Structure 1
Amino acid sequence: MKYDEFADRVRRLCRESPGAQSALRAGLGKPVTDVPARMHAALLRPGLIREDPERRGYADKERAYYAVAALIAARPRAQRLSQAPGGPDTGTAEDSLRDGAAPVVSSENGGDGTEPAALNTIPDAASAAFRPHGTSLGESFALAVGRRDPDQLKSGAAESRLHLLVRQDLDGAHRMLPSVFRWLGSSGVVPDYACLLHDLAAWRYGRDAISTRWLQEFYRSLRRQEAAAEQNSAPPGT
């Protein structure tokens, strides 16, 4: 199943079944072997995770699916409402920089392909040059910084948190993600779950490349926001 399709189906499941949402949320921060039975049922009975008979590298991918499903189920209520059919239009990151703060800043572009190497997404215009794999967690961090302090873009705490995250092994990254996503949610930022799924599935052997991309997109996004803030604050005609 494609990563963006998986994220969409989990969102729809959570929207249509509060019981399934509760079951998925119960696995937050837990390895697959420790999640409650009802989480297995919520994911596997509808066929949300396709079985891999060969199971080559399957454990990491399976864990990524479970983790992202739990993170989606644990979204703040404002995010769930904003992504529901007929909900408010949150706009793009570019819109938020141009027009000011929006209720929720969405950084979701979605991923494509069932294998990490096959991921291929269409980035939005805000940062097309820097998003070969969708909107990374690094850029979501930068959006959260801008949401919290758009005038000064103070990045110290977020920067430290991101630096700690990219140094983690696979187990450590999974342990950190729930608190990271609570922080992003409190900032009104909707992460790109499909992109995260891609990165988590490849983290064990691709951490160096993934963490480099997260850091680069964090600093590039901060610079774009700073440039936009400077332009918006300049007197007319200058």
Structure 2
Amino acid sequence: MVGLCEAPRTRAELRRGLGLPVERCNYLHRYLVPWTHDRDDPAKNMHPATKRAHYAVAALIAARPRVARAPQPLNGAAGDSGESARRVRADLGVSLGQAVSAKVIKPATAESTLHLMSRQSADSVHSTLPSLTRQLLSGGIAVDWAVLLDDLAWWDLRRDRIGSRWLESYFRTAYPENDTETPSATEENER
């Protein structure tokens, strides 16, 4: 989908879908119908939640700040030494943890955002993502669009599991194993 956003006109039209349900994304259909519909077999068309995830992520990619449009490596780590080069894909929790480590977002803000999102409906999550991803990308923090797309597609059925994974990833990233304590609320307010 990143390739769709190379032309300025396309980017502008895709940005119109930020935070909106598919039914209100008339300008996006031209670009996304080929990704979401099977002409030969309509029974293979995407589930509505998956379709909405595609529309949302396309709009988020199109709305990236200029500094974030350069190709970026995927977040994640390869296996060490002789182990297989298995890549761990970064979810939103990893991105927020990296943002905290880079002092792009305050720890209390990142944590409360994740706790709130993990309890919200898909509609609320979709409306929260434009400002959150803009803040991450403006601060030089990469977002793995493929992982976000998958998480959004499954949100209605696996919200608790995905929210829990995001929180676990956040804490692993923001507070690596060598740190034994997270900042207390008092320390956070002093910053």
Q: Is the 8 A contact 2:36 2:46 kept in 1?
A: no
- Name the residue aligned to 1:206: 158
Is the CA contact 1:61–1:201 (under 8 Å) kept in the aligned structure 2?
A: yes
Q: Distance in 2 between matches of 1:146 and 1:225?
A: 14
How far apart are the structure 2 equivalents of 1:57 and 1:11? 20
Q: Find the counterpart in structure 2 of residue 187 from structure 1.
A: 139
Check conservation: 2:118, 2:163, Cα contact below 8 A.
yes
- Distance (Å, rounded) in 2 between the aligned partners of 1:27 and 1:66: 7
The Cα shift of 1:147 comes to 1.4
TM-score scaled by length of structure 1: 0.65
**Distance of aligned partners of 1:170 and 1:185 in 2 relative to their CA distance in 1, 3 Å threshold:** same
- 1:34-91 alpha-carbon deviations (Å, 9 max, x no partner): 113x2111222xx2334372368710000000000000000110111x21xxxxxx56
Aligned to 1:215: 167
1:49 aligns with 2:36: yes
> Residues 23 and 42 of structure 1 are in contact (CA less than 8 Å); yes or no, is this contact kept in structure 2?
no
Residues 20 and 56 of structure 1: CA distance in aligned 2, closer, same or farther (over 3 Å): closer
| 2:5 counterpart SS class | helix
* Residue of 20, 26, 41 corresponding to 2:16: 26
> Counterpart in 1 of 2:92?
137
What is the CA–CA distance in structure 1 between the aligned matches of 2:173 and 2:79, rounded to whole Å? Answer: 9
Q: Does 1:76 align with 2:65?
A: yes
Match of 1:174 in 2: 126
Whole-Å separation in 1 of the counterparts to 2:143 and 2:178: 21
**Matched residue count:** 173
CA shift, 1:18, in A, is 1.5
Equivalent residues of 2:68, 2:138 under 8 A apart: no
Amino acid aligned to 2:90: T
CA offset at residue 168 of structure 1? 0.6
Which consecutive aligned stretches of 4+ in structure 1 deviate over 6 angstroms post-superposition?
Answer: none
Cα pair distance change 1:25/1:126, threshold 3 Å? farther
1:163-221: CA deviation from partner (whole Å, max 9, x where unpaired) = 11111111111111112112212321120100001111101010111111101010011
Structure 1: runs of 5 or more not aligned:
1-9, 84-89, 92-105, 108-122, 228-238
Q: Gapped runs of 5+ residues in structure 2? A: 180-191
Alignment RMSD (CA, Å)? 2.7
Deviation at 1:23, TM superposition (A): 1.0
% identical aligned pairs: 40
